[in-house]
Structure 1
Amino acid sequence: MNVRRGQGVTGVDTTTTRAFGLGALRAVDEPLESLDASALSEVARSATLAQNLAGATRLHAAYLLVESFKALDEAAHGEPGTDTRPAHARLDPADRARHHLAAAMAMTRWHARHLVTAGVQIHTRLPRLREAVERGLLPEQLAIDAACRLAGIPDDIISGVESDVVARLTRDLAGGHRPSRTALDTTVDASRERHDPQGAGDAVDAAADQRTVRFRPERDGMTSMWAHLPSGDAEKLRRRIDAAARAAADTGHPRTRNQLRADALVALGDPNTTDIADPLPDHPADDSAAGPAAPGATATSGGASSASGEADAAAGRAPLGASWGTDQPIRISVINSITQGLPNRVEFVTGAYASFDWLCEELLSGGDAKVRFELLDPQPGTEDTPEAALKYRISPALAERIRLRDGSCRHPGCTVDAHDCEIDHVIAFDHQRPELGGPTAEWNLVCLCRKHHREKTFGHCAYRPGPLGELTIITETGHEHHTRPHGPLAQARDRILDHRWHQHLGRLIADDGHLTNPPGVERTLRATTPSGGTEEPTPPGRPGRPA
């Protein structure tokens, strides 16, 4: 392949910089398989440059979208100082842009938030970073990370810190090294401390206010945990976990060091163990089996004396089998699919409990655990009644059903668990004349997190419900986004429909691959003699598969 300066791959004009060690590239239209290593390297670099420039365009568009929403808001409600709306009814233009981009670009809420924040910062506060981004020097994600990190730097020192950070990033990239996020944080912190030592100390104190721990259940029975802790506290936790793991390893435990460290962490949250999964002498791990549940909606696990519950109360622990820190019973929903030819499934609202393994452990280790079993009919609308449709308040049974159906917030890109969402009427309920407004019925109710509930209430998008929980969002720009529920109840309905379809196909298509006529009845087969003689019809048998 002949590579010439001035154009990029397949005739597209590009402009490279010395950060890639190349001038502009021109590549003629040739199959990649026919190129040598040198040409392939240049093609890859040219494509990387195009990707970086596309990222610059996305960042610019995100910033302009914020400005557009701000202008629309001012045109409708006046300047910020003259806006008479209450504070809770005012939507931040940046938040509106994040919600819009999450749906328009199929992004997670986290990515949309960082894209908008970076776009605004780069085009309002960070001219050096903007120049580097527009020249294609920085990969999009690195530019986003840098801009979001610099967003917390005060205006009086931002110029110096930005200059240090951009110089370090471009120098590393020119040498073929992409800085990690940790290296970026170190560069920003060092520059901030150099330009404002007192402010750097205040930033450390402010960062402690952002400490958090998050859990994310996975499908294989495991859960990921992410913690953001002050360094001193994290070091104490690390030392305790490592010490317990080393002690267990010294006693000859066959588990790996990673497994022992994980077990040591879990032991910190289990009141019935010492360090590494060793039951306390007065709390055997499994000294009895659970007794049969009494009939009714609420069952109490058997096999443990009331003294255990009293001991838990005296120790300040929640009863086993209840949500940790609350006396509310565990709510277990059984989706009744047996009448549809499928086994019943035990489910609970996404985010309500950690996992099925945790739930089973709670039930088996019992105490005075209370469990509420509810049998759910998967057919849509079974909880709807004419009387309830005209009442604004949603019954607990219907609310549980909506959360089981949706699984999470229904706004595109949002992953807030249904347990932490609010339930909203898609078509607004009319409090003055309920018969003229949206009914309190399953098809008209969806889960929305607090932010997206406010967006729906005070924003300018249109929302349209569907009979099975579908939700269509029509944005101010005229784009339509169609979402479907993905919770346990919706998945059960999909399985039932799939099972019915396969049953229908089984009746419709005979073993020879032809359609039965009529459906469900074996078609009349015609046998052909080996000698090629006349064909005699085979008498039809009873419905079903031929023997």
Structure 2
Amino acid sequence: MVSVTTTSSAAFGALRAVPDPLDTLGAEALSEVARSATLAQNLAAATRLQAAYHLVQAMGRLDEATHDDGACPRPVFARLDPADRARDHLAAAMSLTGWHAGRLVTAGVQIHTRLPLLRKAVDRGLFPEQLAIDTACRLADIPDAIIAAVESEVIGALGRDLDGGHRPSRTALDTAVDAARERHDPRAAEDAVGAAVEQRTVRFRPGRDGMTSMWAHLPSSDAEKLRRRIEAAARAAHDRGHPRTRNQLRADALCALGDPNTDDIGSALHDPEDTTHHTDSAAGADGTEGAAGAAGADTPRPGASWGTDKPVRISIIDGIAQGLPNRVQFVNGAYASFDWLCEELLSGGEARVRFDLIDPQPGVQDTPDAVLKYFITPALAERIRLRDGTCRHPGCTVEAHDCEIDHIIAFDHQRPEMGGPTAEWNLICLCRKHHREKTFGHCAYRPGPLGELTIITETGHEHRTTPHGPLAQARDRILDHRWHQHLDRLITDDGHLTNPPGAHRPRPA
């Protein structure tokens, strides 16, 4: 766009004209510098969005030119979405997460194909980048039949707010879009509610210091029931003078919903030392089990672990041979320390635990016979997941245990000895989406000895990633330890450099 280039150049020219340092300027001049910088940033955002759109178009043309020769059309499963390919390229080129790159691509396509009013405002530098992306992605769900009317209302309202110096929040944006959609097509609004219910989910993210964050996306009615139940339990305990804070009581009430051994705020229902409830009083006079016993037959006994139907697998990465303590990694579950495990074991709970000792030496699972077979053993697959941690494509954060294990150099089924061995250095974790990108796309993939991966795009750019899983972290610590040992042997305490390292230091004449 010529207008974008001209205005952007003027804005950057104004910035270059500002004397240095800035602390010599007055308040009015500094305010103008900030406004010029903001305008330049918004115009740069317009260029990024335009580039994202054109990248999608280019990916589509490249895919058609490479594969669609007419005589032998490609099957549907081998076709890649140009928008997905553009997202992957931008994630690597701009150091973005896959989620942010995907929103950038969606916004670029929407702005340049369906949203002329938003495009005009963005090209003039009137919209901050994030607000423009949020607006475009939000309007992407509006049907074509009413998009013009809804866009007119929403962009008009946002423009008035921005002109008055007010940055609308994402909640305000959602409210404006929903209100406009409901006015112009009530049926579409009802359909959107039904579609949103299908997206309900709960996610857990392990954090530090033994804590885990939980995020939920629920229907409003169900969320309100949950909120009222949690709030009622916390308020009742607080009114009784419970020493915990209101926030702590809310958290405890939420946890208590799934624990049959606690009350509404997570306090134990039974004294662990009291065993009277295990007597035969629950049995009937005729020796048969009473009603109470029958009803509670499946109820875990006090102290039993709940929510652990699968064994807790704990991988111990062996570092003793390298002079380092073993590194503990909880593989299944969001358990961040030994505290939870010790409490379960000492309380007589039913938690099942399995310990696996992992040798950090690269390639210890590779054998001459195994590398010539396509089959990946469970032990080797687990080792790759421990090494990589997540999908190895730049910007992708899919957990390794939700990924597929793929050969970087394709396995040669006819002549396995010619390449593509099933060896640790030639295997990586890829989510289903990026596995298809590697199989049917146009990028080249090059492995490294310690799990490094270099991706060479069609444009000739190289993106190099390294694994960040617990096994890779343990190896990094081992390498650091060896390097410090080498320095200790090479340089004495008084700074004398010994060559070769460890040799006896000659006495001064």
- Same fold per superposition (TM over 0.5): yes
Check if 1:470 corresponds to 2:444: no
Residue 369 (structure 1) shift: 3.5
Q: 1:216 to 1:179 in 2, by over 3 A?
A: same
1:334-385 per-position Cα deviation (integer Å, ceiling 9, x unaligned): 1110111111111134xx3112345555444554443222211111001110
The TM-score with structure 2 as length reference comes to 0.89
Aligned to 1:479: 461
Aligned to 2:354: 372
Pairs aligned (count): 483
Residue 78 (structure 1) shift: 3.1
SS where residue 463 of structure 2 aligns? strand
Q: What letter corresponds to residue 492 of structure 1 in structure 2?
A: A
Matching of residues 295-374 of structure 1 within 5 Å: 314-315=298-299, 324=308, 326=309, 328-349=310-331, 352-357=332-337, 358-365=340-347, 367-374=349-356
Residues in 2 aligned to 1:509 and 1:223: alpha-carbon distance in whole angstroms = 44
Residues in 2 aligned to 1:51 and 1:347: alpha-carbon distance in whole angstroms = 43
Conserved 8 A contact 1:285-1:365: no
Conserved 8 A contact 1:122-1:129: yes
Q: 1:256 to 1:524 in 2, by over 3 A?
A: same
Gaps of 5+ in 2: 1-5, 276-293
Deviates further, 178-187 or 434-443: 434-443
SS where residue 406 of structure 2 aligns? strand
Looking at secondary structure, tell me which structure has more helix per residue.
2
Conserved 8 A contact 1:322-1:329: no
Q: What letter corresponds to residue 333 of structure 2 in structure 1?
A: Y
Aligned to 2:65: 75
Conserved 8 A contact 2:454-2:463: yes
Residue 482 (structure 1) shift: 0.4
Larger RCO: Structure 1 or Structure 2 (Cα < 8 Å, ≥ 6 residues apart)? 2
Matching of residues 375-414 of structure 1 within 5 Å: 375-414=357-396
Aligned to 1:291: none
Matching of residues 217-228 of structure 1 within 5 Å: 217-228=206-217
1:38-84 per-position Cα deviation (integer Å, ceiling 9, x unaligned): 100110010000000011111001100000011111222339x9983
Residues in 1 aligned to 2:296 and 2:403: alpha-carbon distance in whole angstroms = 31
Aligned to 1:36: 26
Aligned to 2:78: 89
Q: 1:430 to 1:65 in 2, by over 3 A?
A: same
Conserved 8 A contact 1:122-1:147: yes
Q: 1:332 to 1:136 in 2, by over 3 A?
A: same
Gaps of 5+ in 1: 1-6, 17-23, 288-309, 527-536, 538-547
Aligned to 2:423: 441
Residue 512 (structure 1) shift: 1.6
Percent identity of paired positions between Structure 1 and Structure 2: 75
Residue 281 (structure 1) shift: 2.4
Check if 1:13 corresponds to 2:10: yes
SS where residue 429 of structure 2 aligns? strand
Residues in 2 aligned to 1:446 and 1:311: alpha-carbon distance in whole angstroms = 49
Residues in 1 aligned to 2:115 and 2:343: alpha-carbon distance in whole angstroms = 53
SS where residue 88 of structure 1 aligns? helix
Aligned to 1:303: none
Residues in 2 aligned to 1:489 and 1:280: alpha-carbon distance in whole angstroms = 41
Residues in 2 aligned to 1:503 and 1:311: alpha-carbon distance in whole angstroms = 64
**Which of residues 261, 264, 267 is equivalent to 1:275?**
264
1:440-470 per-position Cα deviation (integer Å, ceiling 9, x unaligned): 1111111111111111111111101110000
Q: 1:83 to 1:322 in 2, by over 3 A?
A: farther
Conserved 8 A contact 1:510-1:523: no
SS where residue 215 of structure 1 aligns? strand
Residues in 1 aligned to 2:314 and 2:497: alpha-carbon distance in whole angstroms = 44
1:97-149 per-position Cα deviation (integer Å, ceiling 9, x unaligned): 11111111110011011000000000000000000000000000000000000
Conserved 8 A contact 1:348-1:404: no
Check if 1:52 corresponds to 2:33: no
